[in-house]
Structure 1
Amino acid sequence: MKEYKRFLLYGLVVGTVIGFYLIFNLKSFVSYENIFIDKTDFMLSSRLIIYNKTCGLQHWKEKKNFGHRDDIPFFSILSTILSSTEKKIIIIEFGANVGQFSERVLSIPHKIPYIVHSIEPVLTLFHLLRNRSRTFKKEKNDKHFHYNLAISDQSGEKPIYSPSQYGEGSTLGKAFLSNFKEIENVTVTTLPEFIKKYHIKTPISFIKIDVEGFEPEVIRGMNLSINAKIFPLFSFETGETWLDDRSVLAKEYTLKSFVEMLNYFQYDSYFIGNPYLLPISGTYWKNSFDGLRRNPNVLAILRHSQPWKNLKKLLNRIPFTSC
Protein backbone atom coordinates (compact mmCIF):
# COMPACT_ATOMS: atom_id res chain seq x y z
CA MET A 1 0.00 0.00 0.00
CA LYS A 2 2.86 2.38 0.88
CA GLU A 3 4.53 1.63 -2.45
CA TYR A 4 1.25 2.38 -4.26
CA LYS A 5 0.91 5.77 -2.49
CA ARG A 6 4.56 6.52 -3.19
CA PHE A 7 3.94 5.73 -6.88
CA LEU A 8 0.90 8.03 -6.98
CA LEU A 9 2.85 10.85 -5.29
CA TYR A 10 5.71 10.41 -7.75
CA GLY A 11 3.27 10.54 -10.68
CA LEU A 12 1.63 13.67 -9.29
CA VAL A 13 4.98 15.47 -8.95
CA VAL A 14 6.13 14.48 -12.44
CA GLY A 15 2.79 15.47 -13.94
CA THR A 16 2.91 18.85 -12.22
CA VAL A 17 6.43 19.54 -13.49
CA ILE A 18 5.49 18.60 -17.04
CA GLY A 19 2.34 20.70 -16.81
CA PHE A 20 4.23 23.82 -15.74
CA TYR A 21 6.81 23.22 -18.48
CA LEU A 22 4.11 23.07 -21.15
CA ILE A 23 2.31 26.13 -19.80
CA PHE A 24 5.38 28.33 -19.81
CA ASN A 25 6.86 27.04 -23.06
CA LEU A 26 3.63 27.07 -25.04
CA LYS A 27 2.37 30.37 -23.69
CA SER A 28 2.98 32.16 -26.98
CA PHE A 29 1.09 29.46 -28.87
CA VAL A 30 -2.00 29.75 -26.69
CA SER A 31 -2.30 33.31 -25.43
CA TYR A 32 -1.17 35.34 -28.42
CA GLU A 33 -3.04 33.31 -31.03
CA ASN A 34 -0.32 34.27 -33.47
CA ILE A 35 1.06 30.79 -34.00
CA PHE A 36 -1.12 27.96 -35.15
CA ILE A 37 -0.01 24.35 -34.83
CA ASP A 38 -0.74 21.49 -37.15
CA LYS A 39 -2.37 19.29 -34.51
CA THR A 40 -2.09 16.14 -36.61
CA ASP A 41 1.59 15.80 -35.82
CA PHE A 42 1.93 18.05 -32.77
CA MET A 43 3.40 15.39 -30.50
CA LEU A 44 5.84 14.30 -33.19
CA SER A 45 7.37 17.49 -34.49
CA SER A 46 5.17 20.47 -33.53
CA ARG A 47 5.18 21.62 -37.13
CA LEU A 48 4.51 25.35 -36.99
CA ILE A 49 2.72 26.32 -40.17
CA ILE A 50 1.58 29.90 -39.65
CA TYR A 51 2.37 32.90 -37.48
CA ASN A 52 1.11 36.40 -36.94
CA LYS A 53 -2.12 35.58 -38.71
CA THR A 54 -4.15 38.10 -36.73
CA CYS A 55 -1.68 40.96 -37.10
CA GLY A 56 -0.88 40.04 -40.67
CA LEU A 57 -4.49 40.04 -41.85
CA GLN A 58 -5.20 43.30 -40.04
CA HIS A 59 -2.19 45.00 -41.58
CA TRP A 60 -3.19 43.67 -45.00
CA LYS A 61 -6.74 45.02 -44.59
CA GLU A 62 -5.54 48.43 -43.40
CA LYS A 63 -2.82 48.60 -46.07
CA LYS A 64 -0.19 49.34 -43.44
CA ASN A 65 2.26 46.69 -44.54
CA PHE A 66 3.23 44.19 -47.22
CA GLY A 67 4.27 46.91 -49.66
CA HIS A 68 6.86 46.67 -52.40
CA ARG A 69 9.63 48.02 -50.14
CA ASP A 70 9.03 45.81 -47.11
CA ASP A 71 11.25 43.04 -48.44
CA ILE A 72 14.49 44.96 -47.82
CA PRO A 73 14.08 45.58 -44.04
CA PHE A 74 12.66 42.06 -43.68
CA PHE A 75 16.04 40.61 -44.63
CA SER A 76 17.28 41.11 -41.06
CA ILE A 77 14.82 38.33 -40.11
CA LEU A 78 15.21 36.33 -43.30
CA SER A 79 18.98 36.16 -42.83
CA THR A 80 18.50 34.00 -39.73
CA ILE A 81 16.98 31.11 -41.70
CA LEU A 82 19.40 31.00 -44.64
CA SER A 83 21.31 27.76 -45.14
CA SER A 84 24.93 27.82 -46.26
CA THR A 85 26.60 26.12 -49.21
CA GLU A 86 30.17 25.02 -48.48
CA LYS A 87 30.16 27.33 -45.42
CA LYS A 88 29.07 30.37 -47.45
CA ILE A 89 25.76 32.17 -47.86
CA ILE A 90 25.13 32.58 -51.58
CA ILE A 91 22.61 35.22 -52.67
CA ILE A 92 21.49 36.24 -56.15
CA GLU A 93 19.40 39.34 -56.83
CA PHE A 94 17.77 40.23 -60.15
CA GLY A 95 16.93 43.85 -60.82
CA ALA A 96 19.59 45.06 -58.40
CA ASN A 97 19.04 48.73 -59.32
CA VAL A 98 21.77 50.75 -57.56
CA GLY A 99 22.37 48.28 -54.74
CA GLN A 100 19.82 49.11 -52.04
CA PHE A 101 19.21 45.47 -51.20
CA SER A 102 22.80 44.26 -51.48
CA GLU A 103 23.96 47.06 -49.19
CA ARG A 104 21.40 45.97 -46.60
CA VAL A 105 22.47 42.34 -46.94
CA LEU A 106 26.17 43.01 -46.52
CA SER A 107 25.73 45.53 -43.69
CA ILE A 108 24.00 43.04 -41.37
CA PRO A 109 26.60 41.50 -39.00
CA HIS A 110 27.30 37.89 -39.93
CA LYS A 111 29.93 35.26 -39.25
CA ILE A 112 29.54 33.11 -42.38
CA PRO A 113 30.89 34.83 -45.52
CA TYR A 114 28.24 36.28 -47.85
CA ILE A 115 28.69 35.89 -51.59
CA VAL A 116 26.25 38.25 -53.32
CA HIS A 117 25.65 38.21 -57.09
CA SER A 118 23.82 41.37 -58.22
CA ILE A 119 22.31 41.47 -61.71
CA GLU A 120 21.26 44.79 -63.26
CA PRO A 121 20.44 45.03 -66.99
CA VAL A 122 20.40 48.85 -67.35
CA LEU A 123 23.93 50.03 -67.99
CA THR A 124 23.56 53.39 -66.19
CA LEU A 125 22.23 51.72 -63.06
CA PHE A 126 24.84 48.98 -63.32
CA HIS A 127 27.66 51.54 -63.15
CA LEU A 128 26.04 53.20 -60.12
CA LEU A 129 25.68 49.78 -58.47
CA ARG A 130 29.31 48.89 -59.07
CA ASN A 131 30.56 52.24 -57.77
CA ARG A 132 28.28 52.13 -54.74
CA SER A 133 29.43 48.61 -53.91
CA ARG A 134 32.89 49.96 -53.17
CA THR A 135 31.40 51.88 -50.25
CA PHE A 136 29.47 48.91 -48.77
CA LYS A 137 30.45 47.76 -45.33
CA LYS A 138 31.53 44.14 -45.75
CA GLU A 139 32.88 41.44 -43.50
CA LYS A 140 36.40 40.20 -44.17
CA ASN A 141 35.56 37.31 -46.52
CA ASP A 142 32.45 38.75 -48.18
CA LYS A 143 32.33 39.10 -51.95
CA HIS A 144 30.04 41.18 -54.15
CA PHE A 145 29.86 40.44 -57.88
CA HIS A 146 28.01 42.55 -60.47
CA TYR A 147 26.61 41.58 -63.87
CA ASN A 148 25.17 43.71 -66.65
CA LEU A 149 22.57 41.33 -68.09
CA ALA A 150 18.96 40.21 -67.66
CA ILE A 151 17.42 36.93 -66.49
CA SER A 152 14.33 35.46 -68.14
CA ASP A 153 13.10 32.12 -69.54
CA GLN A 154 15.21 32.24 -72.70
CA SER A 155 18.62 33.38 -73.93
CA GLY A 156 19.63 35.97 -76.50
CA GLU A 157 19.52 39.75 -76.94
CA LYS A 158 16.50 41.90 -76.10
CA PRO A 159 15.67 45.62 -75.97
CA ILE A 160 15.04 47.32 -72.63
CA TYR A 161 12.23 49.85 -72.26
CA SER A 162 12.02 52.53 -69.60
CA PRO A 163 9.91 55.61 -68.77
CA SER A 164 13.11 57.34 -67.66
CA GLN A 165 16.35 58.11 -69.47
CA TYR A 166 18.12 56.84 -66.35
CA GLY A 167 16.54 53.39 -66.60
CA GLU A 168 14.37 53.45 -63.47
CA GLY A 169 11.44 51.03 -63.73
CA SER A 170 12.89 49.43 -66.86
CA THR A 171 11.40 46.29 -68.36
CA LEU A 172 11.93 43.81 -71.17
CA GLY A 173 8.37 44.33 -72.43
CA LYS A 174 6.80 47.47 -73.84
CA ALA A 175 3.26 46.31 -74.61
CA PHE A 176 0.87 49.28 -74.45
CA LEU A 177 3.11 51.39 -72.21
CA SER A 178 3.15 54.49 -74.41
CA ASN A 179 5.50 56.42 -72.14
CA PHE A 180 8.16 53.67 -72.25
CA LYS A 181 11.01 54.16 -74.71
CA GLU A 182 13.66 51.74 -75.86
CA ILE A 183 16.94 52.72 -74.20
CA GLU A 184 19.36 49.89 -75.03
CA ASN A 185 19.80 46.18 -75.78
CA VAL A 186 20.85 43.66 -73.17
CA THR A 187 22.05 40.06 -73.03
CA VAL A 188 19.37 37.75 -71.63
CA THR A 189 19.85 34.31 -70.10
CA THR A 190 18.15 31.87 -67.72
CA LEU A 191 19.15 31.38 -64.11
CA PRO A 192 20.47 27.80 -64.59
CA GLU A 193 22.60 28.97 -67.53
CA PHE A 194 23.88 31.93 -65.52
CA ILE A 195 24.86 29.67 -62.62
CA LYS A 196 26.63 27.25 -64.95
CA LYS A 197 28.51 29.98 -66.84
CA TYR A 198 29.84 31.68 -63.71
CA HIS A 199 30.47 28.45 -61.76
CA ILE A 200 28.24 29.46 -58.85
CA LYS A 201 27.90 26.85 -56.12
CA THR A 202 24.46 25.43 -55.37
CA PRO A 203 22.05 25.25 -53.65
CA ILE A 204 21.53 29.01 -53.71
CA SER A 205 20.78 30.31 -50.20
CA PHE A 206 18.37 33.02 -51.38
CA ILE A 207 17.20 34.59 -54.64
CA LYS A 208 15.51 38.01 -54.87
CA ILE A 209 13.53 38.66 -58.05
CA ASP A 210 12.34 42.19 -58.85
CA VAL A 211 12.15 42.56 -62.62
CA GLU A 212 9.16 44.83 -63.25
CA GLY A 213 6.57 42.32 -64.37
CA PHE A 214 8.80 39.58 -65.76
CA GLU A 215 8.93 37.58 -62.52
CA PRO A 216 6.84 34.73 -64.06
CA GLU A 217 9.33 34.41 -66.93
CA VAL A 218 12.28 34.31 -64.54
CA ILE A 219 10.65 31.63 -62.39
CA ARG A 220 9.65 29.57 -65.41
CA GLY A 221 13.27 29.77 -66.56
CA MET A 222 14.37 28.36 -63.19
CA ASN A 223 12.68 25.08 -64.22
CA LEU A 224 11.50 24.18 -60.72
CA SER A 225 10.27 20.76 -61.81
CA ILE A 226 13.89 19.56 -61.79
CA ASN A 227 15.74 22.37 -59.97
CA ALA A 228 13.65 22.98 -56.84
CA LYS A 229 16.29 21.57 -54.50
CA ILE A 230 18.92 24.06 -55.67
CA PHE A 231 16.46 26.96 -55.32
CA PRO A 232 14.94 26.32 -51.85
CA LEU A 233 14.21 29.96 -51.02
CA PHE A 234 13.34 32.91 -53.23
CA SER A 235 11.18 36.02 -53.28
CA PHE A 236 9.47 37.81 -56.13
CA GLU A 237 7.49 41.00 -56.56
CA THR A 238 3.91 41.00 -57.82
CA GLY A 239 1.50 43.83 -58.44
CA GLU A 240 0.50 46.29 -61.15
CA THR A 241 3.33 45.25 -63.44
CA TRP A 242 1.59 41.87 -63.77
CA LEU A 243 -1.55 43.58 -65.06
CA ASP A 244 -0.43 45.99 -67.79
CA ASP A 245 0.39 43.50 -70.57
CA ARG A 246 4.15 43.97 -70.61
CA SER A 247 4.61 40.28 -69.76
CA VAL A 248 2.88 37.67 -71.90
CA LEU A 249 3.25 35.01 -69.20
CA ALA A 250 1.96 37.19 -66.34
CA LYS A 251 -1.35 37.58 -68.18
CA GLU A 252 -1.84 33.82 -67.99
CA TYR A 253 -1.86 33.83 -64.17
CA THR A 254 -3.72 35.31 -61.29
CA LEU A 255 -1.61 35.46 -58.15
CA LYS A 256 -3.75 32.65 -56.76
CA SER A 257 -3.02 30.36 -59.70
CA PHE A 258 0.69 31.22 -59.50
CA VAL A 259 0.78 30.33 -55.80
CA GLU A 260 -1.05 27.10 -56.62
CA MET A 261 1.62 26.33 -59.21
CA LEU A 262 4.34 26.88 -56.58
CA ASN A 263 2.41 24.65 -54.18
CA TYR A 264 2.46 21.92 -56.84
CA PHE A 265 6.27 22.19 -56.81
CA GLN A 266 6.19 21.84 -52.97
CA TYR A 267 6.71 25.51 -52.05
CA ASP A 268 4.92 27.32 -49.22
CA SER A 269 4.20 30.96 -50.10
CA TYR A 270 4.00 34.03 -47.85
CA PHE A 271 3.49 37.73 -48.32
CA ILE A 272 6.53 39.55 -46.98
CA GLY A 273 5.81 42.30 -44.47
CA ASN A 274 7.96 43.94 -41.85
CA PRO A 275 8.32 41.99 -39.61
CA TYR A 276 5.42 39.80 -40.64
CA LEU A 277 5.03 36.81 -42.91
CA LEU A 278 1.46 36.22 -44.02
CA PRO A 279 0.82 32.69 -45.38
CA ILE A 280 -1.14 32.56 -48.62
CA SER A 281 -0.85 28.90 -49.72
CA GLY A 282 -3.72 26.43 -49.74
CA THR A 283 -6.39 27.06 -47.11
CA TYR A 284 -4.70 30.32 -46.05
CA TRP A 285 -5.59 31.98 -49.34
CA LYS A 286 -8.12 34.83 -49.24
CA ASN A 287 -9.62 36.38 -52.35
CA SER A 288 -8.57 39.86 -51.22
CA PHE A 289 -4.96 38.79 -51.78
CA ASP A 290 -5.48 39.04 -55.53
CA GLY A 291 -5.68 42.83 -55.21
CA LEU A 292 -2.26 43.08 -56.78
CA ARG A 293 -2.07 46.85 -57.04
CA ARG A 294 -0.24 46.93 -53.72
CA ASN A 295 2.89 45.37 -55.25
CA PRO A 296 3.58 42.91 -52.41
CA ASN A 297 6.57 40.58 -52.42
CA VAL A 298 6.05 36.84 -52.04
CA LEU A 299 8.46 34.50 -50.24
CA ALA A 300 8.52 30.94 -51.61
CA ILE A 301 10.18 28.30 -49.43
CA LEU A 302 10.62 24.65 -50.40
CA ARG A 303 8.94 22.35 -47.92
CA HIS A 304 11.30 20.22 -45.82
CA SER A 305 14.36 22.11 -47.11
CA GLN A 306 16.87 23.40 -44.57
CA PRO A 307 15.54 27.00 -44.73
CA TRP A 308 12.02 25.63 -44.15
CA LYS A 309 13.27 23.75 -41.07
CA ASN A 310 15.14 26.85 -39.90
CA LEU A 311 11.96 28.90 -40.22
CA LYS A 312 10.13 26.44 -37.97
CA LYS A 313 12.71 27.01 -35.24
CA LEU A 314 12.58 30.76 -35.68
CA LEU A 315 8.84 31.25 -35.33
CA ASN A 316 8.73 31.21 -31.54
CA ARG A 317 11.46 33.87 -31.37
CA ILE A 318 9.77 36.43 -33.63
CA PRO A 319 8.66 39.45 -31.53
CA PHE A 320 4.88 39.50 -31.36
CA THR A 321 3.92 43.13 -30.93
CA SER A 322 0.45 44.54 -30.63
CA CYS A 323 -1.39 45.21 -33.86
Structure 2
Amino acid sequence: MQWRQRLIHLSRHRSLQPVWEFTHRSSLVSMNFWASLFRTSGEREALDVVFGRLNGRAPILFDVGANIGDYTAMLLDRFGSSAKIFAFEPSLGAFGALSEKFDAVPSVTLSRLALSDASGDRTLHSDADGSTIASLENLESPIRPFDPDHFQTVACMRLDDYCAEHAIARIDFLKVDVEGHELSVLRGATRLLASRAIDVIQFEFGEPNIDSRTFMRDFVNLLQGYDFFRIVPGGPVPWTYAGGRSEIFATINYLAVRRDA
Protein backbone atom coordinates (compact mmCIF):
# COMPACT_ATOMS: atom_id res chain seq x y z
CA MET A 1 0.00 0.00 0.00
CA GLN A 2 3.02 2.29 0.16
CA TRP A 3 2.71 3.10 -3.54
CA ARG A 4 -0.89 4.20 -2.97
CA GLN A 5 0.06 6.50 -0.13
CA ARG A 6 2.90 7.87 -2.21
CA LEU A 7 0.55 8.58 -5.12
CA ILE A 8 -1.90 10.37 -2.83
CA HIS A 9 0.95 12.40 -1.36
CA LEU A 10 2.15 13.44 -4.83
CA SER A 11 -1.37 14.35 -5.97
CA ARG A 12 -1.61 16.81 -3.07
CA HIS A 13 1.44 18.74 -4.19
CA ARG A 14 1.14 22.50 -4.42
CA SER A 15 1.83 22.48 -8.16
CA LEU A 16 -1.33 20.42 -8.85
CA GLN A 17 -3.74 22.52 -6.79
CA PRO A 18 -4.91 24.70 -9.74
CA VAL A 19 -5.82 21.49 -11.57
CA TRP A 20 -7.91 20.21 -8.67
CA GLU A 21 -9.55 23.59 -8.13
CA PHE A 22 -10.62 23.67 -11.77
CA THR A 23 -11.78 20.05 -11.59
CA HIS A 24 -13.71 20.74 -8.40
CA ARG A 25 -15.63 23.68 -9.84
CA SER A 26 -16.24 21.83 -13.12
CA SER A 27 -17.62 18.87 -11.19
CA LEU A 28 -20.02 21.07 -9.24
CA VAL A 29 -21.29 22.69 -12.44
CA SER A 30 -21.77 19.24 -13.99
CA MET A 31 -23.64 18.11 -10.87
CA ASN A 32 -26.12 20.97 -11.49
CA PHE A 33 -24.92 23.40 -8.84
CA TRP A 34 -25.52 27.07 -9.74
CA ALA A 35 -28.20 26.10 -12.30
CA SER A 36 -30.40 29.20 -12.30
CA LEU A 37 -33.00 28.56 -15.02
CA PHE A 38 -35.65 26.34 -13.47
CA ARG A 39 -37.08 25.23 -16.81
CA THR A 40 -33.73 23.64 -17.73
CA SER A 41 -32.38 22.79 -14.28
CA GLY A 42 -34.43 19.61 -13.87
CA GLU A 43 -37.13 21.22 -11.75
CA ARG A 44 -39.82 20.48 -14.31
CA GLU A 45 -38.79 16.80 -14.39
CA ALA A 46 -38.95 16.79 -10.59
CA LEU A 47 -42.65 17.57 -10.87
CA ASP A 48 -43.10 14.19 -12.54
CA VAL A 49 -42.36 12.65 -9.13
CA VAL A 50 -45.24 14.65 -7.66
CA PHE A 51 -47.57 13.76 -10.54
CA GLY A 52 -46.78 10.06 -10.14
CA ARG A 53 -47.88 10.10 -6.50
CA LEU A 54 -51.29 11.75 -7.00
CA ASN A 55 -53.24 8.61 -7.93
CA GLY A 56 -55.55 10.71 -10.07
CA ARG A 57 -56.57 13.28 -7.46
CA ALA A 58 -56.36 17.03 -8.00
CA PRO A 59 -53.20 18.26 -6.24
CA ILE A 60 -52.67 21.00 -3.69
CA LEU A 61 -49.46 22.86 -4.56
CA PHE A 62 -47.64 25.57 -2.60
CA ASP A 63 -45.20 28.01 -4.24
CA VAL A 64 -43.37 29.79 -1.41
CA GLY A 65 -41.24 32.59 -2.77
CA ALA A 66 -43.26 32.96 -5.96
CA ASN A 67 -41.70 36.28 -7.05
CA ILE A 68 -43.43 37.33 -10.32
CA GLY A 69 -45.00 33.93 -10.92
CA ASP A 70 -42.86 32.10 -13.46
CA TYR A 71 -42.74 28.94 -11.32
CA THR A 72 -46.45 29.24 -10.53
CA ALA A 73 -47.10 29.33 -14.27
CA MET A 74 -45.07 26.15 -14.69
CA LEU A 75 -47.14 24.43 -11.98
CA LEU A 76 -50.34 25.50 -13.71
CA ASP A 77 -49.03 24.27 -17.05
CA ARG A 78 -47.92 20.91 -15.64
CA PHE A 79 -50.93 20.09 -13.46
CA GLY A 80 -53.74 21.99 -15.15
CA SER A 81 -56.60 24.06 -13.82
CA SER A 82 -57.82 21.26 -11.54
CA ALA A 83 -54.82 21.86 -9.28
CA LYS A 84 -55.17 24.22 -6.35
CA ILE A 85 -52.10 26.45 -6.23
CA PHE A 86 -51.22 28.70 -3.31
CA ALA A 87 -48.53 31.27 -4.16
CA PHE A 88 -46.78 33.39 -1.53
CA GLU A 89 -44.76 36.53 -2.24
CA PRO A 90 -44.14 39.29 0.34
CA SER A 91 -42.43 41.86 -1.92
CA LEU A 92 -44.84 44.62 -2.94
CA GLY A 93 -43.34 45.02 -6.42
CA ALA A 94 -43.12 41.31 -7.19
CA PHE A 95 -46.58 40.69 -5.78
CA GLY A 96 -48.00 43.33 -8.11
CA ALA A 97 -46.62 41.48 -11.13
CA LEU A 98 -47.83 38.17 -9.67
CA SER A 99 -51.31 39.57 -9.25
CA GLU A 100 -51.44 40.83 -12.82
CA LYS A 101 -50.79 37.29 -14.05
CA PHE A 102 -53.05 35.29 -11.75
CA ASP A 103 -55.76 37.43 -10.17
CA ALA A 104 -58.22 36.14 -12.77
CA VAL A 105 -57.17 32.48 -12.43
CA PRO A 106 -59.61 30.74 -10.06
CA SER A 107 -57.27 27.85 -9.25
CA VAL A 108 -54.48 30.15 -7.98
CA THR A 109 -54.68 31.76 -4.53
CA LEU A 110 -52.24 34.62 -3.96
CA SER A 111 -50.96 35.85 -0.59
CA ARG A 112 -48.71 38.85 -0.04
CA LEU A 113 -47.16 37.06 2.88
CA ALA A 114 -43.84 35.58 3.98
CA LEU A 115 -43.82 32.15 5.57
CA SER A 116 -41.49 31.66 8.51
CA ASP A 117 -41.17 29.94 11.90
CA ALA A 118 -43.10 32.68 13.74
CA SER A 119 -45.86 35.15 13.02
CA GLY A 120 -45.28 38.91 13.05
CA ASP A 121 -43.66 41.63 10.98
CA ARG A 122 -40.10 41.31 9.70
CA THR A 123 -37.78 43.16 7.34
CA LEU A 124 -37.51 41.91 3.78
CA HIS A 125 -34.01 42.78 2.56
CA SER A 126 -33.52 43.41 -1.14
CA ASP A 127 -31.36 45.02 -3.80
CA ALA A 128 -34.24 46.33 -5.95
CA ASP A 129 -38.02 46.43 -6.12
CA GLY A 130 -39.35 42.99 -7.02
CA SER A 131 -35.89 41.43 -6.76
CA THR A 132 -35.35 37.69 -7.19
CA ILE A 133 -32.89 37.64 -4.26
CA ALA A 134 -35.03 39.34 -1.59
CA SER A 135 -34.69 37.59 1.75
CA LEU A 136 -35.78 37.77 5.37
CA GLU A 137 -32.14 37.00 6.09
CA ASN A 138 -29.86 40.03 6.00
CA LEU A 139 -27.33 38.30 3.75
CA GLU A 140 -23.76 39.51 4.13
CA SER A 141 -22.83 38.27 0.67
CA PRO A 142 -25.85 38.40 -1.64
CA ILE A 143 -25.40 38.00 -5.39
CA ARG A 144 -26.03 41.74 -5.68
CA PRO A 145 -25.53 44.21 -2.80
CA PHE A 146 -28.64 44.88 -0.75
CA ASP A 147 -29.96 48.44 -0.75
CA PRO A 148 -31.74 49.75 2.39
CA ASP A 149 -33.86 51.98 0.14
CA HIS A 150 -35.62 48.80 -1.01
CA PHE A 151 -36.11 47.17 2.40
CA GLN A 152 -39.77 46.51 3.32
CA THR A 153 -41.67 45.51 6.42
CA VAL A 154 -43.65 42.39 5.59
CA ALA A 155 -46.08 40.15 7.42
CA CYS A 156 -44.96 36.63 8.34
CA MET A 157 -46.99 33.56 9.20
CA ARG A 158 -46.34 29.93 10.05
CA LEU A 159 -47.37 27.41 7.41
CA ASP A 160 -49.15 25.40 10.12
CA ASP A 161 -51.27 28.42 11.00
CA TYR A 162 -52.02 29.31 7.38
CA CYS A 163 -53.23 25.80 6.61
CA ALA A 164 -55.32 25.66 9.79
CA GLU A 165 -56.89 29.03 8.96
CA HIS A 166 -57.73 27.94 5.41
CA ALA A 167 -58.78 24.35 6.27
CA ILE A 168 -55.98 22.79 4.22
CA ALA A 169 -55.41 19.26 5.49
CA ARG A 170 -52.64 18.19 3.13
CA ILE A 171 -50.07 19.56 0.72
CA ASP A 172 -49.04 17.42 -2.22
CA PHE A 173 -46.10 19.62 -3.17
CA LEU A 174 -44.34 22.39 -1.28
CA LYS A 175 -41.73 24.42 -3.17
CA VAL A 176 -39.61 26.76 -1.05
CA ASP A 177 -37.16 29.24 -2.58
CA VAL A 178 -36.59 32.05 -0.09
CA GLU A 179 -32.87 32.84 -0.20
CA GLY A 180 -31.58 31.15 2.94
CA HIS A 181 -34.81 31.20 4.97
CA GLU A 182 -35.98 27.75 3.80
CA LEU A 183 -35.37 25.96 7.09
CA SER A 184 -37.41 28.56 9.00
CA VAL A 185 -40.31 28.00 6.59
CA LEU A 186 -40.19 24.27 7.28
CA ARG A 187 -39.86 24.82 11.02
CA GLY A 188 -43.14 26.68 10.75
CA ALA A 189 -44.76 23.48 9.49
CA THR A 190 -43.95 21.11 12.36
CA ARG A 191 -47.58 20.06 12.88
CA LEU A 192 -48.04 19.30 9.19
CA LEU A 193 -44.78 17.36 9.09
CA ALA A 194 -45.62 15.41 12.24
CA SER A 195 -48.96 14.38 10.76
CA ARG A 196 -47.31 13.38 7.46
CA ALA A 197 -49.45 15.94 5.63
CA ILE A 198 -46.76 17.21 3.24
CA ASP A 199 -45.95 14.68 0.55
CA VAL A 200 -43.13 16.21 -1.54
CA ILE A 201 -40.91 19.20 -0.70
CA GLN A 202 -38.54 21.07 -2.98
CA PHE A 203 -36.13 23.48 -1.32
CA GLU A 204 -33.13 25.49 -2.39
CA PHE A 205 -29.81 25.30 -0.56
CA GLY A 206 -26.70 27.32 -1.26
CA GLU A 207 -24.72 30.44 -0.51
CA PRO A 208 -27.48 32.24 1.48
CA ASN A 209 -27.49 29.37 3.99
CA ILE A 210 -24.04 30.51 5.13
CA ASP A 211 -25.62 33.72 6.38
CA SER A 212 -28.66 32.00 7.91
CA ARG A 213 -26.28 29.52 9.61
CA THR A 214 -28.24 26.51 8.38
CA PHE A 215 -26.84 23.21 7.20
CA MET A 216 -28.07 20.27 5.15
CA ARG A 217 -27.86 18.30 8.39
CA ASP A 218 -30.62 20.57 9.78
CA PHE A 219 -32.92 19.70 6.87
CA VAL A 220 -32.19 15.98 7.20
CA ASN A 221 -32.88 16.06 10.95
CA LEU A 222 -36.12 17.99 10.49
CA LEU A 223 -37.38 15.92 7.56
CA GLN A 224 -37.01 12.49 9.03
CA GLY A 225 -39.22 10.05 7.14
CA TYR A 226 -38.29 11.60 3.79
CA ASP A 227 -35.98 10.35 1.06
CA PHE A 228 -33.75 13.03 -0.46
CA PHE A 229 -32.75 13.69 -4.06
CA ARG A 230 -30.65 16.23 -5.93
CA ILE A 231 -32.62 17.85 -8.74
CA VAL A 232 -30.81 17.52 -12.07
CA PRO A 233 -31.87 17.45 -15.74
CA GLY A 234 -33.34 14.08 -16.65
CA GLY A 235 -34.82 13.41 -13.21
CA PRO A 236 -33.86 13.59 -9.53
CA VAL A 237 -30.81 11.65 -8.30
CA PRO A 238 -30.91 9.86 -4.91
CA TRP A 239 -28.89 11.69 -2.27
CA THR A 240 -27.76 10.60 1.20
CA TYR A 241 -26.27 12.85 3.83
CA ALA A 242 -22.55 12.21 4.28
CA GLY A 243 -21.38 14.75 6.82
CA GLY A 244 -19.02 17.47 5.67
CA ARG A 245 -19.02 16.20 2.08
CA SER A 246 -22.72 17.07 1.89
CA GLU A 247 -22.37 20.65 3.14
CA ILE A 248 -21.84 22.30 -0.24
CA PHE A 249 -22.78 25.97 -0.11
CA ALA A 250 -23.34 26.30 -3.84
CA THR A 251 -26.91 26.81 -4.96
CA ILE A 252 -28.91 23.76 -5.94
CA ASN A 253 -32.43 22.40 -5.37
CA TYR A 254 -33.18 19.27 -3.38
CA LEU A 255 -36.31 17.14 -3.38
CA ALA A 256 -37.59 15.47 -0.22
CA VAL A 257 -40.14 12.72 -0.86
CA ARG A 258 -42.11 11.30 2.04
CA ARG A 259 -41.62 7.60 2.52
CA ASP A 260 -44.77 5.52 2.59
CA ALA A 261 -45.74 4.25 6.03
TM-score normalised by L of structure 2: 0.77
The aligned runs of 1:99-248 (5 Å cut-off) are 99-108=69-78, 110=80, 113-133=82-102, 143-174=107-138, 176=140, 179-181=146-148, 182-200=150-168, 202-223=169-190, 227-243=194-210, 245=211, 247=212
Which residue is equivalent to 1:63? 30
5+ residue gaps, structure 1, are 1-58, 137-141, 306-323
Say which one has the larger Rg: 1
C-alpha distance in 2 between matches for 1:289 and 1:155: 31
Would you say 1:83 and 2:23 are equivalent positions?
A: no
5+ residue gaps, structure 2, are 1-25
CA change 1:151–1:204 in 2 (3 A) is same
Displacement, 1:299?
0.7
C-alpha distance in 2 between matches for 1:207 and 1:113: 17
Displacement, 1:176?
3.5
Would you say 1:261 and 2:228 are equivalent positions?
A: no
The aligned runs of 1:11-30 (5 Å cut-off) are none
C-alpha distance in 2 between matches for 1:168 and 1:242: 16
Tell me if structure 2 keeps the 8 A contact 1:203–1:230. Answer: yes
C-alpha distance in 1 between matches for 2:119 and 2:42: 28
C-alpha distance in 1 between matches for 2:100 and 2:127: 24
**After TM superposition, what 4+ stretches of structure 1 lie above 6 angstroms from structure 2?**
none
Tell me if structure 2 keeps the 8 A contact 1:260–1:281. Answer: no
TM-score normalised by L of structure 1: 0.63
Displacement, 1:63?
2.1
Secondary structure of 1:213's counterpart equals: coil
Which residue is equivalent to 2:15? none
Aligned amino acid, residue 92 of structure 1: F
CA change 1:207–1:155 in 2 (3 A) is same
- Flag the structure with higher helix content: 1
